[in-house]
Amino acid sequence: MGREFEGSNYTPGMTIKDVATAMRKYTKTKYPDCKFSITTKSFSGGSSISLALLGAPYAAFVESDRFTNYDVNYYYIERNSVLTAPIKKILQDVISELRSYNYDNSDSMIDYFDTNFYMNIRVGKWDRPYVITESKCPQVMKEIPCPAGEEAERQGEDIQPLETEEFDEDNCEIGMGM
């Protein structure tokens, strides 16, 4: 029986901790203005990776006064009406990278589950709410940055970048991947 899904970075024998380490490196490199928490858990039925976006220099929720944390259904993230467009784009990119380390040969019709790991995606945590942080390179944030330079579609209320007065050109790279 062949695999139904096998990610491009999947390597047999790669541990869940190795995947978490690779994801920490990926998120720090691609999204230096964002704070992520990436944790692992092993249990009798397999293992899981929990990825939480804890902070970024823009709003995460369309109704910011209503949410401080949120569990994301990554199968339908594009239809999500709670998260803002830039957060959805960041999460879609990070989820895509995380899935590239996974395989899934499950068949729920016969109660057979065979996967490298399960995923839990969140914005904020129950004990650590999402926070809007200051950008490391504020002058680059003319528009809300999105992965691979894609234009952010605005959703809900108009989201404005943080206002700043100083810009240290020596410590900022324009092409920081956002």
Model pLDDT for residues 13-52, shown as the tens digit of each residue: 889 999 999 999 999 999 999 999 999 999 888 899 999 9
pLDDT, one tens digit per residue, over 152-174 is 333 333 444 444 344 444 444 43
Task: Return d(Cα 67, Cα 89) in angstroms, integer.
Answer: 19
More confident residue, 1 or 43: 43
What is the mean predicted confidence (pLDDT) over 122-143?
A: 77
Q: Which of 145, 131, 135, 130 is nearest to 178 (CA)?
A: 145
This model's pTM is above 0.75 = no
Confidence of residue 3 (pLDDT cuts 50, 70, 90): low
Contacts for 110-116: CB closer than 8 Å, 24+ residues apart = 113/45, 113/46, 115/46, 116/10, 116/16, 116/19, 116/47
Computed over every residue of the chain, the mean pLDDT equals 77
pLDDT of residue 147: 46
Task: Return d(Cα 62, Cα 107) in angstroms, integer.
Answer: 36
